[in-house]
Amino acid sequence: MASSLSALRPVNEILSQLAVEAGSTLNEQLIADKVFEKIQLDEGQFTGTILVENSRNYMGAGGADVNFKRSPGAARARLDGFDFTTLTFQTEAHGLEAAIAYEDLVSSQYPIDMKEREIRRITRALLLEREVNAANLLFDTSNWTGYNNTLSTFNSSVNTDATGIQWNSAGAEPIMDLRALIDTVRANSHGIMPDTVVMGHRCFRAIQSSLDALGLVGSSTNGLANAGRRSLSKSAAIEVLKDQIEVENIFVGSARRETANPYQTSSEAQIWTDDSIFCGIMRGSDAVVNRGQVKALPLAAVCLENFGMKSGEQPYKDIRTDVWVEHRYQDKVISANYGYLLTDILA
């Protein structure tokens, strides 16, 4: 079995702190670490089993045949139960390194330490890859089989309370559609209310300028700063959504990344699909980790993490210094029925 990178190269704590700091400046743009509840594993616990509690165990005795009343001297009715659902997990290391020539280290006239610069570049690349992996999981229809639809199909076959009108078209009512989505997730998850909505950047822009949302901020006579505007600010739109759909965690995927190969003409793209929305239960697993097993209440998806960003350096014979950053995790779908993906939100 191959040795881990961290075992071969001692972690440099100063550089690790820099790796964390380099990511903190992107907090407004990157949302992956905020969306997922994180289950902390032991650093060497790369594989294991997840025991997911069956929610039906907590939904009552069920059926008209169960009689809760007990006659004198009679036995009590027995409460039947359902087994855990089991899933396996396997975390993976995600890391990059960069080499800095000895001459560059000692003679650079740039107003920044070359090691710090490389750590910042590596950390940014890893954080963007983390964002891509999160978007690929939540916005992939194959992960939510039976719990995904286009907006128009959702309206016609799942919940007719939705308008089915794409949000950048006349007559759209995005808040009405989101309420219908919330109710659908609640019905699929035994009455538990969803706590998280993740949407693409242009979906959110459509909400900011929709009459549906603008009509909820009041008039200029009561001193509301956004009254009379043709578009709500980001903070005002999020507050309207939190109030109207009663979901606390609302995230907008606005990050972009380079998609061209090195030395080709630069080409950037959105990481989160612009016209998609995910809604689901992403908080409250109450996870317990013990000897390779994770016991948790069901969520739509979680992040299983061995360790966050850490970094170090390895000098090589006064020729160069290699600096590296690595983290180890897996984003995992736990219960598909606890999430729902809507696509084709925009025309």
CATH, residue 210: 3.90.1690.10
pLDDT-derived band at 347 (thresholds 50, 70, 90) equals very high
Domain residues for the domain of 319 are 8-56+82-343
Domain contains 68: no
Mean of per-residue pLDDT scores for the chain? 85
Q: Which of 326, 300, 294 is nearest to 40 (CA)?
A: 294
Q: Please, which pLDDT band fits residue 313 given cuts at 50, 70 and 90?
A: confident
**Domain assignment of residue 67, yes or no:** no
Residue 63: pLDDT band with limits 50, 70, 90: low
- Say what percent of the chain tops pLDDT 90: 52
Contact 193, 237 (CB under 8 A): no
Q: Which residues contact 327 (CB under 8 A, 6 or more apart)?
A: 93, 94, 95, 126, 130, 305, 307, 308, 309, 310
pLDDT for position 21: 62
- How much is the pTM? 0.82
On whether residue 70 sits in a domain, the answer given is no
- The reported pLDDT for the residue numbered 10 is 57
> How many structural domains compose the chain?
1
Residue 302 lies in a domain: yes
Report the pLDDT value the prediction gives residue 160, as an integer from 0 to 100: 96
Q: How confident is the model at residue 64 (pLDDT cuts 50, 70, 90)?
A: low
pLDDT (tens digit, 9 = 90+) per residue, 242-253?
A: 999 999 999 999
H-run or E-run covering 174 = helix 174-188
> How much is the average pLDDT of 220-234?
56
Q: Check whether 186 has a pLDDT greater than 70.
A: yes
Higher pLDDT, 49 or 266: 49
**What CA–CA distance (Å, rounded) separates 79 from 67?**
10
In angstroms, rounded to a whole number, what is the distance separating the alpha carbons of residues 194 and 181?
10
Residue 224 DSSP SS3: coil
- To the nearest 10°, report the CA torsion of 128, 131, 137, 140: -80
Asked if residue 311 lies in contact with residue 11, where contact means CB atoms within 8 angstroms, the answer is yes
Q: Please check whether residue 64 lies inside any domain of the structure.
A: no
Give one word for 309, left, alpha or beta, with left for phi > 0 and alpha for psi -120 to 50. beta
For residues 147-169, average pLDDT: 96
CA distances from 333 to 144, 191, 307, 337 (A): 9, 20, 20, 10
Q: Is residue 150 scored above 90 in pLDDT?
A: yes
Residue 131 backbone dihedrals phi, psi, to 5 degrees: -65, -40
Is pLDDT at 263 greater than 50 in this prediction? yes
How far apart are alpha carbons 38 and 179 in whole angstroms? 27
In-domain check, residue 1: no
pLDDT band of residue 216 (cuts 50, 70, 90) is low
H or E segment at 123?
helix 114-138
Residue 118 in domain? yes
Lowest mean pLDDT among 15-19, 284-288, 305-309: 15-19
Is the pLDDT at 196 greater than 70? The verdict is yes
- What is the three-class DSSP state of 128? helix
For 282-294, the pLDDT digits (tens) are 999 888 898 778 9
Residue 288 is inside which H or E element, if any?
strand 288-290
When pLDDT is cut at 50, 70 and 90, the band that residue 119 belongs to is confident
Q: Are strands 301-316 and 85-90 parallel, antiparallel or unpaired?
A: unpaired
State the residue for tokens 């084709």.
344
Band of pLDDT at residue 26, cut at 50, 70 and 90:
low
Beta-bridge partner residues of 249: 196
Q: Residue 61: inside a domain, yes or no?
A: no
Which helix (DSSP H) or strand (DSSP E) does residue 327 occupy?
Answer: strand 320-333
